[in-house]
Amino acid sequence: MTNHWIDIRNADVILVMGSNAAENHPVSFKWVGNAINRGATLLSVDPRFTRTSAKAHLYAPIRSGTDIAFLGGMIKYIIENNRYFEEYVRLYTNASFLVNPGFKMPGELDGLFSGYDPKTRKYDKSTWIFEKDAKGLIKKDPTLQDPYCVFQLLKKHYSRYTPEVVSSITGTPKDKLLKVYETYSSTGKPGKAATIMYAMGWTQHTVGTQNIRTMAIIQLLLGNMGIAGGGVNALRGESNVQGSTDHCLLFHILPGYLRTPRASQATLEEYNDKSTPKAKDPMSANWWGNYPKYSVSLLKSFFGQNATKANDFGYAWLPKLDDGQNASWLMIFDEMYKGTFSGFFAWGQNPTCSGANANKVRMALTKVDWVVDVNIFPNETAEFWHGPGMKPESIKTEVFLLPAAASFEKEGSITNSGRWAQWRYKGGMSPGDAWPDSEIMTELYYRVKALYEKEGGVFPDPILNLTWDYGPKGGDGKINYVDPHMVAKEINGYFLKDKTVGGRLYTKGTLVPSFAFLQADGSTSSGNWLYCQSYTGKGNMMARRSRKDPSGIGLYLEWAWAWPVNRRIIYNRASVDKDGQPWDKEHPVIWWDKAAKKWKGDVPDGGWPPLSAGKSSRYAFIMKPEGHAHIFGPGLADGPFPEHYEPYECPIEKNLMNGQKFNPTIKIFSPETTTPLDVVFSCDPRFPIVATTYRMVEHWQTGVMTRWQPWLLEAQPQLWVEMSKELANLKGIKNGEKVSVQSARGQVEAVAMVTDRFKPFDIAGQTIHQVGLPWCFGWVTPPDGGDSANLLTPTIGDANTMIPESKAFMVNVVRKGV
């Protein structure tokens, strides 16, 4: 979230699309309700009439996988009806930038941008660039009239997204489309705010990243970024998925969103050089220009005093991916199925139910020699070897199932969706011999290290040089137990030698006060620069519990701690005019105090004076090398502007917007190119029904934690498939009877739930039905509770992130035994 949960109360319009917050983030509705009580309007756009829709002032149905069409139509509406906030757009976005005249768009190239190579399925982006003057500065047209300026290109691109075309793609009645557009765009002026609450309903698509980009463009046009009650707000679904992402348990990034090193970057200098953006414009803060300070401080936290300037701070000890290599989720199970790995850790995760095309995941596990599964309950991943269709006698895989402590049986911090890191205390003992995860990691650290010390092995250097100073040490040099405070301090970072910064001496061993103090010379450590300031000389900032809110807009600056540097609303330098005065006088986020010559309110996105100060100021979007928010976003794989493509598995033969059926840049998995299980049947009469997956309030994710609890299980005991009365009639299905839901990849048995909440869609004159299933069940427990809906979903991912497309695929539903 760019903003945070309580801030929702400041919105005038709230759009919930790609999520069902009332059901899956229920307490968020405390603040949605608060906004409604103040007069705010709630809009719900969803394939199904959800619990969120029930609270909304307006509900608009949409066929799964057509969000770009829906939102693209809103961009057209905003521009053609002059609903945008022109001054904001000109000051803070790249709308005025001039683009290379060689750049061509899908309207001209039948769904493609310029530079597409069908062989590699990639774009040559050499025309996706801005025009520059002799000094290397980007050429701009502040009047926004030049035909090659971003604004005019945007207008031209979305002029094709007429309400008629959009309605025929999405199935949304035209009057509802226009009502949503009109209501949402009413906030495109100073003093008004609209927010978006989205979740996996937007990310789990082959166009997931572009779904969110489309909304970001809308928020920029309306001046809704950086302000109270605005922002682009991802409702994250796991208590610490924000923190685990920040700490980068992901193939492509190191803690703090630093890049994982690539094979062509043999030295730290080459790595830093490749990773550090350069800015020509002196008014661009270009914050990523500090990259080497963060990468060197990270290496110091990995290897301590073993990391020296002479050895590149241990850079050579980090594993390198090949250039262009993708080692993401879908690739892991693809490689596993092909026999690449002999070992596999499933730590606090249940991929045999949560992974798309779960049959492939389950079969892949039969191909490894050993699995280590760490969890608090038995789960379908550890038990896979005796699951449905498995013959234990023919499965070689060894499984170690290790019992872990629950969240309240240990101490540490987690980061919520609003980026607040909050401290948790230990509230009791674990049952039996269950251990905190950190103790399991520590034992593995010592034991693997001892093997390399005694017996040697391939390239032992990173293992032998790694530091593990996470508790008081005994006579054997090992820590006696893990002290999470010591880990939190390492993440924050220390001065490793006496160092003078800004005229002040910081002695060796001092906790670094904030990331502005980190150094590239090895004199500081920080396990994650974004968390630098979370644990300082003032104490554990994440444990703060002050209920004071002098801001009046719910910032609660002394409750816990938010990254970065306790900023509660990011991009907040865009919440003010060029003199630093808030657009919204009623809900000011920051304001420039002329007398004191400083910002007041939230922690500003940098302390430079407002734009009217000229050279001493900096542009608002400090993480972008040009300092301006990207309406034109040339960094993505599939285009600088979002374009509608159908889901990879879809119900209609032709994309009604262009000649490309599906996203032309996704990686294709198929029986011919990857594994026999990567089957997809698009527009196949055997699978004519659109399906999606979702969650319910009583169960969580795959249900590993909730399916073992009698209270919750009593409320929701088994898998169901929700469908319209029209579809049930067509199929002769009665409410409450068991049916089989089948896709090209698998089938599940489910109870038919026939409701008014789904309605058939009219897609260009064709009646299209949609059904939905929760994905929280699994065969281990409860008995007869059904299995994972991910047995149905395809192996296909977003063009940028490779997040699987679990929210739009094709099925059939039949009565049992038919």
Partner 1 sequence: MKLTRRTFLKLSGATAVGIAASKLGLDFSSVEAYAAKLRKDLKAAKEVTSICPYCAVGCGVIVHSIGGKVINIEGDPDHVINEGTLCSKGASLYQISGANPNRLAQPMYRAPYATEWKTVTWEWALREIARRVRVSRDAGFMSKNAKGQVVNRTNGIAHVGSAALDNEECFMLQKLMRSWGLVYIEHQARI
Q: Which is nearer to partner 1, 484 or 778 (CB)?
A: 484
* Residue 390 near partner 1 by CB under 8 A: no
- Cβ-contact 304, 645 below 8 angstroms: no
Q: Give the H/E segment covering residue 345.
A: strand 343-347
Q: How many CB atoms lie within 10 A of CB 41?
A: 19
The alpha carbon of residue 71 and the mean position of all alpha carbons in its chain are separated, in whole angstroms, by 19
Among 88, 158, 556, 592, binds partner 1 (CB under 8 A): 556
Please give the full DSSP string across 437-452, using - where no structure is assigned: HHHHHHHHHHHHHHHH
Spatial CB neighbours of 1, under 8 Å, sequence gap ≥ 6: 231, 232, 233, 234, 235, 236, 417, 418, 419
* Residue 236 near partner 1 by CB under 8 A: yes
Among residue numbers 72 through 91, which ones bind partner 1 (CB under 8 A)? none
Residue 308: CB minimum distance to partner 1, A: 18
Stretch that binds partner 1, among 95-103, 112-120, 393-401, 496-504 (CB under 8 A): 393-401
Residue 793: CB minimum distance to partner 1, A: 10
* Residue 226 near partner 1 by CB under 8 A: no
DSSP, res 177:
H
Among 46, 437, 638, 643, binds partner 1 (CB under 8 A): 437
Residue 261 preceded by cis peptide, ω within 30: no
Radius of gyration of the chain (CA): 27
Residue 722: CB minimum distance to partner 1, A: 19
Q: How far apart are the C-alpha atoms of 234 and 231, rounded to whole Å?
A: 10
* Residue 550 near partner 1 by CB under 8 A: no
Among residue numbers 409 through 428, which ones bind partner 1 (CB under 8 A)? 409-410, 412-418, 420-422, 424-428
* Residue 400 near partner 1 by CB under 8 A: yes
Q: Which is nearer to partner 1, 260 or 812 (CB)?
A: 260
Q: Which is nearer to partner 1, 548 or 615 (CB)?
A: 548
Spatial CB neighbours of 569, under 8 Å, sequence gap ≥ 6: 2, 3, 4, 7, 226, 227, 228, 231, 555, 575, 589, 602
Provide the token pair at 125. Answer: 């982006």
Among 58, 137, 178, 466, binds partner 1 (CB under 8 A): 466
Stretch that binds partner 1, among 126-134, 482-490, 656-664, 735-743 (CB under 8 A): 482-490
Residue count at the site for partner 1 (CB under 8 A)? 178
Stretch that binds partner 1, among 158-166, 444-452, 613-621, 678-686 (CB under 8 A): 444-452
Residue 371: CB minimum distance to partner 1, A: 9
Q: Could you give phi then psi for residue 486, rounded to 5 degrees?
A: -70, -35
* Residue 374 near partner 1 by CB under 8 A: yes
| Pattern 25-54, partner 1, x by CB under 8 A | xxxx-x------------------------
- Cβ-contact 72, 114 below 8 angstroms: no
Among residue numbers 287 through 346, which ones bind partner 1 (CB under 8 A)? 301-302, 316-322, 325, 327-329, 331-332, 335-336, 340-346
* Residue 669 near partner 1 by CB under 8 A: no
Q: Could you give phi then psi for residue 255, rounded to 5 degrees?
A: -45, 135
Stretch that binds partner 1, among 181-189, 437-445, 654-662, 739-747 (CB under 8 A): 437-445
Q: How far apart are the C-alpha atoms of 567 and 602, rounded to whole Å?
A: 6
Phi-psi category of residue 143: left, alpha or beta, with phi > 0 → left and psi -120 to 50 → alpha:
alpha
Stretch that binds partner 1, among 152-160, 382-390, 576-584, 602-610 (CB under 8 A): 382-390
Q: How far apart are the C-alpha atoms of 803 and 800, rounded to whole Å?
A: 8
* Residue 432 near partner 1 by CB under 8 A: yes
Bridge partners (DSSP) of residue 258 are: 254
* Residue 260 near partner 1 by CB under 8 A: yes
Q: Which is nearer to partner 1, 74 or 491 (CB)?
A: 491
* Residue 756 near partner 1 by CB under 8 A: no
Q: How far apart are the C-alpha atoms of 160 and 171, rounded to whole Å?
A: 17
Q: Give the H/E segment covering residue 275.
A: helix 268-275
Among residue numbers 569 through 628, which ones bind partner 1 (CB under 8 A)? none
268-275 and 291-303 helices, crossing angle to 10°: 140
Spatial CB neighbours of 711, under 8 Å, sequence gap ≥ 6: none
* Residue 408 near partner 1 by CB under 8 A: yes
Q: Which is nearer to partner 1, 505 or 715 (CB)?
A: 715
Among residue numbers 694 through 753, which ones bind partner 1 (CB under 8 A)? 697-701, 705-706, 708-712, 715
| Pattern 184-223, partner 1, x by CB under 8 A | --------------------x-------------------
Residue 229: CB minimum distance to partner 1, A: 16
Q: How far apart are the C-alpha atoms of 735 and 10, rounded to whole Å?
A: 42
Q: Give the H/E segment covering residue 91.
A: helix 86-92
Q: How far apart are the C-alpha atoms of 446 and 206, rounded to whole Å?
A: 42
If we measure between CA atoms, which residue out of 403, 347, 392, 353 comes closest to residue 785?
A: 353
| Pattern 157-176, partner 1, x by CB under 8 A | --------------------
Residue 156: CB minimum distance to partner 1, A: 35
Among 230, 493, 513, 527, binds partner 1 (CB under 8 A): 527
